[in-house]
Amino acid sequence: MTAGSEFTMRVWRGDASGGAFQDFRMDVGEGMVVLDVIHRIQAEAAHDLAVRWNCKAGKCGSCSAEVNGKPRLMCMTRMDIFEPGETITIAPVKTFPLIKDLVTNVSFNYEKAKEVPAFKPKAKEADGTRRMYQEEVDRVQEFHKCIECFLCQDVCHVIRDHPENKPAFAGPRLFVRYAALEMHPLDTNDRLGLLKQRAGLGYCNITKCCTEVCPEGIHITDNAIIPLKERVVTEFNDPVVWLLRTVTGRKRKTADGAGS
């Protein structure tokens, strides 16, 4: 793409009562991202165009939208991936109720976060420290990379196409959070029962769209959801574990993975 190409930006305008796409012909300079173009529209053509953004560097996860139907961060979508002259559709994320233009009500995610049982560390060691080792924290640090853009929540068909599941399903972002806590080397809380029931881990059919859209490259399905599913299987669905427990009288495993 050369500097100064022209594009048609087809931007959703409207609120909960309705709306439509509106076209803006925009000049685009070198290195510009979709969010830059949206800002230009805002400054030049539509001062009240509503859009969320903060860092403009892929670190805060505010500017989530659907660009040509794909959930993306606008600040990390370069204009030079498109053909000059192309019409680019910018729509608000679909899974959450619309507020205005590109801004949606994402409180679903914050409400679900309140239901996660807190981190509960085990006692300190005799010398007063808490020792953890890099090989242990590596796995959980991947989950802590989450910038809460909620693109995974947006693309997840369990709630995107079936909003009636919202009360019973926490969604990929929250599964990553559950995984971070469950696999934390020092945590002692047990959330497996909750995951199976109220958080609705079973609704996930591991079709991996969350992983595909994650701008942080977190392997949501392989590293968070499936290991959690396996842990839930051990707790609730494994006949051999059940039989062994019955025979040996052993209790459920503790959160640090010992036993069983």
Q: For residues 186-245, which are near another protein according to CB under 8 A?
A: 187, 200, 202-209, 212-213, 221-222, 226-227, 229-231, 233-234, 237-238, 240
# residues contacting another protein (CB under 8 A): 122
- Nearest approach in angstroms of CB 116 to another protein is 8
Binding mask 102-131 vs another protein (x if CB under 8 A, - otherwise)? -xxxxxx-xx-xx-x-xx-x-------xxx
Q: In whole angstroms, what is the distance from residue 64 CA to residue 151 CA?
A: 7
Q: Pairing mode, if any, of strands 87-91 and 5-15?
A: parallel
What are the structure tokens assigned to 195, written together?
Answer: 């995951």
Q: In whole angstroms, what is the distance from residue 203 CA to residue 4 CA?
A: 47
Q: In whole angstroms, what is the distance from residue 75 CA to residue 16 CA?
A: 25
166 near another protein (CB under 8 A): yes
- Nearest approach in angstroms of CB 237 to another protein is 4
7 near another protein (CB under 8 A): no
**CA torsion angle 43 47 53 54 (round to 10):** 60
Map tokens 């196409």 to a residue. Answer: 161
23 near another protein (CB under 8 A): no
22 near another protein (CB under 8 A): no
Q: In whole angstroms, what is the distance from residue 104 CA to residue 241 CA?
A: 45
96 near another protein (CB under 8 A): yes
Binding mask 61-90 vs another protein (x if CB under 8 A, - otherwise)? xx---x-xxxx----x-x----------x-
